[in-house]
Amino acid sequence: MKKTKGITCVLVSVMAVSMFSGCSKENPLDGAVIGENSFIMTLYPDIAPITCENFQKLVDEGFYNGLTFHRVVDDFVVQGGDPNGDGTGSSSESIKGEFSENGVANNLSHVRSTVSMARADDFDSATCQFFICLSDLTYLDGSYAAFANVTEGMEVIDNFLNVPRSVGRMGELSSPDTPIYIKYSGIIEADSAGNPRIQFLIDIDSSASSSTSTSTTNIETVPQSTTETTVSTEANSETSTSNDEDVVYSSENIYEISPENEKNTEPITDDNTVG
């Protein structure tokens, strides 16, 4: 009888320790305030299933944790998710571009708060970089894979415009002087229609730079392009295409496909970035 009591006490103690351990595991999103330091993105897998699956996979792996929004352009887009932090990086897998120019129906328009995948000149070259529209940019419809909307906390993204910026590599005011970090991203409860949702915790603080050293542990090393990948706001296309062998029109190089001629690509200029 004493032996049975002893075993019971051991089991109770083990259960108590297990319960305590489970409770002590903190969720990074606890304490996050929507509209202050956090926003929610709702994905639409019925519109872009491949893109949404890839994005959720990266979030689940912790790929985006510690990365930045490296490019912020007034009345245009904010762009992030690059492991290199300068528009040249990628993840290990590229995915099919889910947009009409690539033979895929996609009726999600690039309006304010729409989230879409940045890509290279190759339609099927998107990996991890994404952009969020700050204004209506419907001329991008059909050329880029829109897959989500920021449904709560868009004001957090608007506040990126308040961060002092320097001229970026494309000659525009776009590079934040203080890094805008994705401190954490996590999958949360789906919306009432069953659409997946992801919450992002943002940290605009130079002291957060130490987080990047730990975030890269989940990133597989892949060959990187030596050319810049930018959302072009250059008014003169010749400055971006003077050397076809060296230029990769990807990620930050969001180009508009002219409806008159699919082979005629024009950089998005300051004149047509305002929706």
Are 77 and 111 a contacting pair, CB within 8 Å? no
Q: What are the domain boundaries of the chain?
A: 30-272
* Closest of 98, 138, 96, 89 to residue 114, by C-alpha: 138
Q: What is the pLDDT of residues 161-184, one digit of tens each?
A: 999 999 987 788 999 999 999 999
pLDDT reported for residue 224: 38
Q: Looking at the whole model, is its pTM more than 0.85?
A: no
pLDDT reported for residue 122: 96
* Tokens 């606890």, residue located: 30
CATH number assigned to the domain covering 30-272: 2.40.100.10
Helix runs in the chain, H state only: 2-24, 49-61, 154-158, 211-215, 238-241
Q: What is the pLDDT of residues 225-251, one digit of tens each?
A: 333 343 433 322 333 333 333 322 334
Are 60 and 187 a contacting pair, CB within 8 Å? yes
Report the C-alpha gap between 211 and 202 in whole angstroms.
Answer: 12
* Tokens 């050319």, residue located: 227
Report the C-alpha gap between 83 and 79 in whole angstroms.
Answer: 12
pLDDT reported for residue 31: 87
What integer is the mean pLDDT of 59-70? 97
Query: Percent of the chain having pLDDT more than 90?
Result: 60
| DSSP 3-state of 181 | strand
